[in-house]
Amino acid sequence: MGTTSVKPRIVPGTKKDIPLIRALILELAEYERALPGEAPVTEKDLEKTLFGKVPAAEVLIAYLGKEPAGFALFFHNYSTWLGKRGIYLEDLFVRPAARKHGVGFALLQELARLAVERDCGRLDWSVLTWNELAISFYKRIGAKHMDDWTTFRLTGDALAHVAGAEEMIYGRRPRQMIVVWGVSLVSIALIYWLEYSAPALHELLLPFYWIILALASYLTWRWLRARSRKDRRGGDRRRTDRRDETDATSS
């Protein structure tokens, strides 16, 4: 870049920077060895989530002279132990041509300043295990490696699977309901038979009969509720499909 003597300049990202922010995100994805299609973010996505009514995150853009050199994207998290907000750094990226000019440190310095200004308890981020250059840099500035923690993530089908767990358990297993009510009916028949043939045993087993009936009723209610939710979602999808078809036809 020919800007070795230029001090990095850090400014907040604005709506007019959306194309630049997206370009930097895609460059970061390439640097982090993402597969094709793993970063499908669009400018519309960024406008909605970063500059909508309730922004989900904030962006800092670094410049060397007039040239964009990198960016940091961050948002607030919360520490229950400290009782304070924190800042979580989701992405930090410096373009290759701008490296070794203090851009990465300038971005972190501005984030640290914001954290102190906003009375945050800490600044957190993650780093890929193979990025030894970044890890070494973070250690040099005093960042602590959280050895006792590991990151988990739900995404895609796994996220949908967990979100629909109740439906999975109660809404897709009608055979279970048949078994539950089969056991309940057998219990009812047994209780009536014992009432005439063994009254003493009937009195002893009667509480268990009510427990079985209550459990069967509860499971049936959960199953019906899950089925109702599934039907509503299916109806919403069908209505959306019809609207899409209408829009396509009218256009």
What one-character-per-residue DSSP string does 44-78 give? HHHHHHHSSSS-S-EEEEEEETTEEEEEEEEEEEE
* Residue 134 shares a structural domain with residue 171: no
Which range of residues forms the domain containing residue 144? 9-151
* Residue 20 shares a structural domain with residue 46: yes
- Domain edge (last residue) among 131, 151, 171: 151
Check if the beta carbon of residue 108 is closer than 8 Å to that of residue 62: no
* Residue 73 shares a structural domain with residue 122: yes
Check if the beta carbon of residue 171 is closer than 8 Å to that of residue 221: no
Share of the chain above pLDDT 70, in %: 79
Give the model's pLDDT for residue 3: 46
* Residue 184 shares a structural domain with residue 224: yes
**Cα radius of gyration (the chain):** 29
Check if the beta carbon of residue 4 is closer than 8 Å to that of residue 64: no
pLDDT band at 166 (very low <50, low <70, confident <90, very high): low
How far apart CA 58 and CA 8 sit, in angstroms, is 19
- Domain edge (last residue) among 134, 151, 168: 151
Mean pLDDT of the chain: 83
pLDDT band at 106 (very low <50, low <70, confident <90, very high): very high
Q: Give tens-digit pLDDT for 39-85.
A: 999 999 999 999 999 999 999 999 999 999 999 999 999 999 999 99
- Domain edge (last residue) among 127, 151, 175: 151
Share of the chain above pLDDT 90, in %: 54
The C-alpha angle with vertex 87 and arms to 85 and 90, in degrees rounded to 5, equals: 145
**How many residues are there in the chain?**
251
Q: Give tens-digit pLDDT for 128-147.
A: 999 998 999 999 999 999 98
* Residue 106 shares a structural domain with residue 163: no
* Residue 79 shares a structural domain with residue 124: yes
- Residue 244, domain member (yes or no): no
- Residue 248, domain member (yes or no): no
* Residue 21 shares a structural domain with residue 142: yes
- Residue 62, domain member (yes or no): yes
* Residue 144 shares a structural domain with residue 165: no
Quick one: which of 182, 176, 173, 209 has its CA closest to 193?
A: 209
- Residue 208, domain member (yes or no): yes
Give the mean model confidence (pLDDT) for residues 12-16: 97
